[in-house]
Structure 1
């Protein structure tokens, strides 16, 4: 079984922080290509937020703060490629269908490479522009084991308090998810 990211919305914040929020459950890609050849200083506030921390839903071209690792079939992968290639032609000016398909295949393959984790693992991205190039750092968040004597209702009441990070050992840093998730980074550079 293949695995790819889907957008997920744990709270309504995406609808406030992005110009367009992705619908929950859309197949997602990194979306960094949206910002290639753009001067970050000319971006509006909500565009800068998308540049810093958004996954791109391939249907709506909306943004999501988090994505979730989800199993997919080969037919779904092909549909993702076709949909993204169409978006690249229609919205981003790809020179022809072949170039759009090749770019879509590359984006979908990269998205799949982020999903080498168990299904239901949450993914977060942090981007920065360094020397004119976009650097992406991806984090994985997985459910924290709950003590056997914990109240079941309490264990499911607050999604933000029951996650921990899996990844390379780098200095801990706070991710702005209501200030409640502590993360270590697994870094993937793509320029």
Structure 2
């Protein structure tokens, strides 16, 4: 079972997103955040989050690139619970139990997207607002094309970054 973790190649996410995701945190699409948005909401850093941001499930911040990696069932469970709590805290879901099904579907959709990918494959997301709602598309960058060992910054953005 695969999911994706936030990865940073430079500090640009700290400049383009109001709340950047932490390097290494598990990520999902998070397109649900934009379900009630209109063209008027699409400006500045909010537009960048809408257009190209994956959602981290610890900070609920955004990141431009994610890398596919294996996830254990216990980690999946923790993500579902955290996301369900986020739905209670931010979106007014009546309880974690009531929000669990939606959280599970969000996580499992991302697992489905990642399961066919090789470890360390990079993914990007692109969203557009259409008459039918938010449309998402994904770009896959194979590990041999990405050169991760040359460019990836490991650790948190708060630490002194070092390159591998």
Shared fold (TM-score greater than 0.5)?
Answer: yes
Secondary structure of residue in 1 paired with 2:120:
coil
Matched residue, 1:136? 136
- Determine if contact 1:40/1:48 at 8 Å carries over to the other structure: no
Alignment of 1:118-157 (within 5 A): 118-144=118-144, 157=150
| Structure 1 pair 120–134 and aligned structure 2 pair: CA distance change class (3 A) | same
- Count of paired positions: 150
Alignment of 1:100-179 (within 5 A): 100-115=99-114, 116-144=116-144, 157=150
| C-alpha distance in 1 between matches for 2:85 and 2:117 | 29
- Determine if contact 2:68/2:118 at 8 Å carries over to the other structure: yes
| Structure 1 pair 81–155 and aligned structure 2 pair: CA distance change class (3 A) | closer
Matched residue, 1:16? 15
- TM-score, normalised to structure 2's length? 0.85
| C-alpha distance in 2 between matches for 1:120 and 1:80 | 20
Structure 1 vs Structure 2 CA RMSD: 1.9
Which ranges of structure 1 fall in alignment gaps of 5 or more residues? Answer: 146-153, 160-191
Shift of residue 76, structure 1, vs aligned partner: 0.6
Matched residue, 1:60? 59
| C-alpha distance in 1 between matches for 2:49 and 2:64 | 8
Shift of residue 156, structure 1, vs aligned partner: 5.3
Which ranges of structure 2 fall in alignment gaps of 5 or more residues? Answer: 153-164
| C-alpha distance in 1 between matches for 2:111 and 2:143 | 21
| Structure of higher CA gyration radius | 1
| Structure 1 pair 129–155 and aligned structure 2 pair: CA distance change class (3 A) | closer
**Higher RCO (C-alpha under 8 Å, 6+ residues apart):** 2
Higher helix share: 2
Matched residue, 1:25? 24
